[in-house]
Amino acid sequence: MDYYLSVATFAALNVVLALGLNMISGFCGQVSLGHAAFYGLGAYAAALCSVAGMPFVLSVLVGVVVAGAFGVVVGFAALRVRDDFLAIVTMGVGFLFLGVVRKQAWLGAEMGIARIPSPMGKGGYALMAIGAAIALVLLSLHVRRSWMGRAFDAVAQDEDAARTIGVDVAGYKTVAFLLGTASAGLAGAIYAHMTQLIVPDAFNFIQSITILAMVVVGGIGSTLGVVLGAVLLTVMPELFRFINDYKLLVYGALLLLVMRFSPEGFAGLYRRVTGRRLA
């Protein structure tokens, strides 16, 4: 039972991470290759606060705020760049985060932070993670259908045209980074307390690519498609443990197949089969 609870919890956390990245890349069209850094920021901030004696709920809140605040900073820094240059900037953020946490003794360096207080059992974390995933699904669906979603679409399609019709491009880019990175911080805070141990390698570039793969396979811009992609790429390695050593090879092959035969992921496949758009 503990095994299934753990898989369900990680699947829900990956849904939160993927939906957060989908806010940035799917809704607003901003390429981000450093999402795991914000996942790590939330985890480290929450862990440090919890180890210092702060209550669990406040520790989680700090993790969300810290990740969101750094997301706003990155959003401001990235206003002058786009496309490939933005991808390089966000990738650099991820490497910068790893470089800092691996060298700072007060952050545990390569050994990370251990003995993080855990106020609940596996079932409690599973419920919390699933609740966070459901909340992100509802938020994403609401944003997509709101005036904010229309503004995000305008920015994603053509920033210059969006400016000419009065859309605050800089503001909406920043909001997208805020929502996406704060979501990653929430996932990180839950992860830190659940595992009671965090190390830098849990938030490396490979993790960022894995989150991106979930979004692309599910269908970038589609909320329910991304949920399906995140769950599939979480459960698949558990079902096929004999290929676990080749996980990155399988992810790469899967991305190539999706890009070749269904560039819009499962969401595009669903639309072609049913004639209806997946939310």
Is 147 part of a structural domain of the chain? yes
User: Domain total for the chain?
Assistant: 1
Is 233 part of a structural domain of the chain? no
Residues 134-185: tens digit of each pLDDT: 999 999 999 999 999 999 999 998 888 988 888 898 899 999 999 999 999 9
Is 126 part of a structural domain of the chain? yes
Is 182 part of a structural domain of the chain? yes
Q: Domain containing 62: what range?
A: 2-202
Is 254 part of a structural domain of the chain? no
Is 148 part of a structural domain of the chain? yes
Residues 44-90: tens digit of each pLDDT: 999 999 999 999 999 999 999 999 999 999 888 777 777 778 888 88
Is 180 part of a structural domain of the chain? yes
Name the nearest CA neighbour of 206 among 104, 91, 81: 91
Is 274 part of a structural domain of the chain? no
3-state secondary structure 132-143: HHHHHHHHHHHH
**Using CA atoms, how far apart are residues 84 and 123, in angstroms rounded to an integer?**
42
Contacts of residue 56, Cβ cutoff 8 Å, sequence gap at least 6 = 50, 117, 119, 120, 193
pTM: 0.93
DSSP at 26: I
Measured CA distances, 148 to 22, 141, 172, 207 (Å): 14, 11, 8, 29
Measured CA distances, 188 to 17, 62, 261 (Å): 9, 11, 34
